[in-house]
Amino acid sequence: MRDLLIAIGVLSALAGVAAAAKRDWTGSTACGACHPKELAAWQATPHATTAARFGSATVPGKCLACHATGEAPAGPAIALEVGCEACHGAGAAYAEDDLMRDLPVARALGLVDLSTPKARAAVCSGCHARTTKSGPFDANAPVHPVMP
Ligand code: HEC
Ligand code: HEC
Ligand code: HEC
Ligand code: HEC
């Protein structure tokens, strides 16, 4: 059952990859240059620190599908982290100041819509099963809460 759930997760992750407009990635540091608060908040989460689970061992491609950002297992992973672009979409085409101020344009260039519960659930479910060890998975839980 767990293998089946993982297989479904990988397939949906691949579907998400295929849907992005451009296959170009900037990396989380580049996003953080303009979004320092989100970067700092994200750095404290398990999404950012997952590399620590794998130590120095080579990570199998099937694990990179969810524990990394990029096109694994079909293509290269750009980082061993669940980076900004794992949720927001590959950013090279939209990650510019004037484009990002124009939401419809940014979306057309690959910025993923996460504004509704349904849209969020679709992105999270690419990697997360419906239930976790501690209970139901909540797609609306804060992912990088910025403190006021
Ligand atoms: C050159 C600066 C710059 C870079 C680089 C950049 N952004 Fe932005 N981003 C902006 C600006 C400006 C806005 C719109 C104003 C605002 O809300 O801060 C914005 C808005 C956003 C939003 C909110 C969109 C909405 O719903 O209104 C998200 C999400 C976002 N950026 C994610 C990213 C990600 C992910 C990356 C890296 C791939 C990235 N940004 C790189 C400048 C940038
Ligand atoms: C379909 C996506 C997916 C794949 C593929 C995947 N993982 Fe994970 N993994 C997750 C998610 C999501 C969590 C967080 C679980 C939670 O807390 O709900 C996680 C958590 C973990 C944890 C933390 C301990 C635990 O069980 O909660 C370890 C260790 C781990 N994964 C190792 C691996 C290894 C090794 C592989 C490759 C053999 C792998 N994962 C493949 C999604 C995946
Ligand atoms: C696990 C998925 C995920 C990751 C990883 C992630 N984000 Fe987000 N981000 C979201 C969600 C969900 C929202 C809320 C969207 C909404 O309500 O419209 C959001 C909102 C934002 C916003 C809009 C303003 C705000 O703070 O709500 C910006 C900017 C942003 N993210 C930038 C980033 C940057 C930069 C990174 C990497 C350092 C990053 N995100 C990593 C899921 C993610
Ligand atoms: C690219 C795959 C991927 C996506 C997309 C993703 N996650 Fe994750 N998430 C992971 C992995 C892998 C872990 C486990 C990291 C670790 O602990 O090593 C994790 C861990 C978490 C945790 C911590 C769980 C714990 O046991 O501490 C939360 C909360 C979480 N994710 C929420 C979300 C939400 C909400 C979304 C959607 C907005 C989302 N994630 C999208 C892969 C992903």
Residue 145 or residue 102, greater confidence:
102
140 close to 120: Cβ distance less than 8 angstroms: yes
Residue 86 or residue 56, greater confidence:
86
91 close to 110: Cβ distance less than 8 angstroms: yes
Residue 61's identity, in one-letter code, is: G
Residue 99's identity, in one-letter code, is: L
The residue whose CB lies within 8 Å of the most ligand 4 atoms, and thus the one to mutate among 6, 63, 67, 82, is 82
Question: pLDDT category, 147, cuts 50, 70, 90?
Answer: confident
**What gap in Å lies between CA 17 and CA 25, rounded to an integer?**
11
The confidence score (pLDDT) of residue 131 equals 78
**Torsion sign (Cα): 50, 61, 6, 139:** positive
pLDDT tops 80 at residue 45: yes
Question: Worst-scoring range by mean pLDDT, 16-30, 33-47, 68-82, 113-127?
Answer: 16-30
Q: Which residue has the tokens 């994200």?
A: 42
Query: What ligand is nearest to the CA atom of residue 89?
Result: 1
pLDDT tops 70 at residue 28: yes
Question: pLDDT category, 14, cuts 50, 70, 90?
Answer: very low
115 close to 14: Cβ distance less than 8 angstroms: no
CA neighbor of 83 nearest in space, from 64, 73, 71, 70: 70
**What gap in Å lies between CA 69 and CA 90, rounded to an integer?**
9
Pocket lining for ligand 2, CB < 6 angstroms: 6, 9-10, 53, 60, 62-63, 65-67, 127-128, 132
CA distances from 124 to 14, 49, 129 (A): 13, 17, 9
Question: pLDDT category, 130, cuts 50, 70, 90?
Answer: confident
The confidence score (pLDDT) of residue 2 equals 44
Tokens of 145: 């809460």
Please tell me the distance between residue 98's alpha carbon and the centre of ligand 4 in angstroms: 30
